[in-house]
Chains A and B, each alone.
Chain A
Amino acid sequence: MTPSFTIQRIETGADRGELRLGGSLTLAEAGPLWEELRRLESSAARGQSLDFELSAVERIDGGAMALLACLRAELQRRGVRSEFVAAGERVQRVVHLYGGDARVARLRSRRPLGTFDQLGRATLAVLREVQLALAFLGQMTASGVALLRSPRSANWRELPATMERSGADAVPIVVLINFLVGLAMAFQASAQFRRYGANIYVADLIGISVSRELGPLMTAIVLCGRSGAAFTAELGFMRVNEEIDALRTMGLGPMRYLVLPRTLALVLVLPLLVLLADVAGVLGGLVVGVWNLDLTPRGYLNETIRAVSVWDVASGLVKSVVFALAIALIGCQQGLATTGGAEGVGRRTTAAVVTTLFTLILADAALTALFRLGGM
C-alpha cells in the first residue's frame, strides 16, 4: 500500500539540506515514516544543517509530530543544525505544541550508582526496616500491657470472626496436607523398616515426627499463606486507603483495634489446628501401615500411643504458639508499614510471606535445639 506521506532529501547548499515532507503524517504510518526519516538523515554530519520543510504537509497528528521532534533533538545533539520550517498555520500550531520551535535541552548523563552507594542505600533500607519492626514491637508491648490493665479496652468484637476465618475455614486444607505428609513419610520409611522386619516402628516414626515437628510446621506454613498474607493485605489496604489514619484520629490505635485481635485469634486457633494436624498425620501413616506393611489399625494405634509422649505433643503446641505470634506479628507489621498504592500492598504481602517462612524455620530449629539441649 502506498503511504499517505512523502519524504525527499534535497541538498540546498554545500553543508545545507532539507527533508521535505508532504501529505498526511500520522501515527498509523509511524513505522515506515520513522524508517524513511532515519535512512535520509543518517548521513548528516556535525556542522551541517538539515531542516524539516513542512510546507506540503496537509495533516500531522501528535504521534508523528513527536517522532519529528525527537529526531530534531537527536540531530541537534549530534551537532547538526535542524529546525522545522515553512509549516502552514495549522501544522505550526502542532509544531509549537510539541516543542518543535523550542531550544533542545542538553541531556544530563545520569551517573550510575557506585558499589558503595548501593551498599549504603541497601544498609539504610535494612536499618529502616529494623527500626520499623522495633517500633512495632514496642507499640505492641505497650498495647499488650494496656490490655492487661484494662481488658475491656480491646476490640473483642473482631475476635470470633477472625478465629473463624483463620481457624475453622483452614481445617480442610490443614487436615488434607498433614494427612498427605504422614502418608508420604510412611511410604518413604516403609521400605527401610520392611528390610529389617521392623514394620511396626513406622508408627513411632510418624507419631513422633508429626507431633514434634511436621504437624506444627506444616500447619504454620499453611496459616502463613492463608492468614499472614491476608492480614498484610487487609492492613496494607486500610493503610493505603487512610483507614488506619482515620482510626488514629478517632483515638482507636491500630495495635489495640486491629493487631491484638488478629494476634490473639491466631494464638488461640493454631494450637487447635496443630492437634488436628497431628491426628491427620498419624492417620496418613496408619493407611500406609495397614495397606503396605500388613499392620492392624489397632496395633498401629497402640504403638503410636506407646511411642508418643505427652511432651511430644506439648512441645508441638509450644512451637505452635511461637509460630502463631510470628505469623500474626510479621503479617500485621508489614501491613501497617505499607506505603504506595496497590503495588505497595503486593510488595509488602510478598515480604510478609517470605519473612514469616524464614522466621518459622529459624524458630523451629531454635526450639528443637533448645528442647533437645534441655533433655526434653
Chain B
Amino acid sequence: MSTALVRVAHLAIGFGETVLQEDATFEVEQGTIFAILGPSGCGKSTLLRCLVGLDEPRSGTVAIGGVEPGPTRSGRPRFGVTFQSGALLGSLTVEENVALPLQEWTDLPLDAIGGIVAAKLRLVGLQRTEEQMPAELSGGMRKRVAIARAMALEPDLLFLDEPSAGLDPVSAAELDELILELNRELGLTFVVVTHDLESIFKIAGSCIMLDRATRSIVARGDPRLLRDTSQDPRVRAFFHRARQEVTP
C-alpha cells in the first residue's frame, strides 16, 4: 500500500503570462527526503509555494495527507516551511521567533513554551542564542533557527527552500547532517528545493528534475542513480555541470 504523504497531480504553475510547468505529477513517500531539482528559472520555488498553499496553481491538485495544503479548520498549520533567507522576523529575538507558533496555537504557559524553545534550539545545535536578534546570526544559524521554528508545532513534514543557498561549505554540510538526523531519528519527511547537487546526493532518497525548456519533469528517482545511469542529455548535462562544480 502506498504511504504517500504528498500527492501532486497534473499541476500547472507559472506567474503572469509565463508558464513554468505544465503537467507535474509526483508523490512524496512518508519518512523520506525528497528533492526538487532543476536549473534556475524552471519553477522549483514556485512549485514549492503551490505545494505549501502560498500560491494557487493554474490547474491540477495538491494533497498533503489526503487534503488540500491549507491550514486546519482552526488555522493551525499542518506542516513547517523554511525559506531561502530564513525569513526570521527581524524585530523578534531568536527565542520569540521560535515561540511564535507555540504562543499562537497552544495554551501552554510562557515557561513551558520557553522550555520547548530551548529544546528545539538545542536540537538544531544553537544553545544559548535565545536572546540574540536574527541580524546577529550567521546565515547558517538563521537557517537552523528557521528549521527550529518550522518544527515547533511538531509537524510530520517540512518544506525547505534552498536550504544551503548562500552558506559556506562547512555550514552547508552541517545543515545536511541536521536534516539527515531529523529524518533518521524523528522520521520527519522533507521536501527540499535546491540546485545544490552535492547536498542532494548526500541527503535525498528520491527526486524529480524540472526542465525549463519543455516545462515538464524530465527525470525522477534516486539522484545518485540518475547521475550514473540516465541517458537523457538534459539530465546528464545538469548533473555533469554540477559534478564539475563540486569536484576540484
Binding site for A on B (CB under 8 A): 49, 52-54, 71, 75-77, 79-81, 83-85, 87-90, 100-101, 104-105, 146, 149-150
A250 and B151 alpha carbons, distance in the complex (Å): 10
Among candidates B54, B88, B105, residue contacting A251 with C-beta atoms closer than 8 Å: B105
User: For residue A241, which residue of chain B has the nearest CB?
Assistant: B85
Please give the residue numbers on chain A whose beta carbons come within 8 Å of chain B beta carbons, in ascending order. 238, 241-243, 245-253
**Residue in contact with B104 in the complex, picked from A241, A249, A252, CB distance below 8 Å:** A252
Closest to A157 in B: B103
Closest to B146 in A: A246
CA distance A336 to B185 in the complex (A): 39
Asked if B81 and A251 make an inter-chain contact with CB atoms under 8 angstroms apart, the answer reads: no
Within the assembled complex, what's the spacing in Å between the Cα atoms of A248 and B53? 9
Q: Which residue of A lies closest to B54 (CB)?
A: A245
**Out of B77, B85, B88, B105, which one reaches A249, CB within 8 Å?**
B77
A-B contact pairs, 23 of them (CB 8 A): A238-B89, A238-B90, A241-B85, A241-B87, A242-B87, A243-B87, A243-B89, A243-B90, A245-B83, A246-B81, A246-B87, A247-B89, A249-B52, A249-B53, A249-B54, A249-B81, A249-B150, A250-B101, A251-B71, A251-B101, A252-B100, A252-B101, A252-B104
A246 touches B83 (CB 8 A): yes
Docked Cα-Cα span, A249 to B161, in Å, equals 13
Q: Which of B79, B90, B146 has the most CB of A within 10 A?
A: B90
Instruction: Name A253's closest neighbour in chain B (CB-CB).
Output: B75
A242 with B84, Cβ < 8 A, contacts A250-B77, A251-B71 known: yes
B residues near A241, Cβ cutoff 8 Å: 85, 87, 90
Alpha-carbon distance A251/B53, docked complex (angstroms)? 11
> In the bound complex, what is the Cα–Cα distance between A252 and B149 (angstroms)?
13
Known contacts A241-B87, A245-B83; decide if A250 and B54 are in contact (CB<8 Å): no
Pick the most buried of B53, B77, B89: most chain A CB atoms within 10 A of its CB: B89
Q: How far is the CB of A147 from chain B (nearest CB, A)?
A: 13
| Contact partners of B149 in chain A: CB under 8 A | 246, 250
The answer, among B84, B85, B90, B104, for a CB contact under 8 Å with A250, is B104
Inter-chain CA distance A329–B18, complex, in Å, is 31
Q: Complex formed: what's the CA distance from A11 to B188 in Å?
A: 76
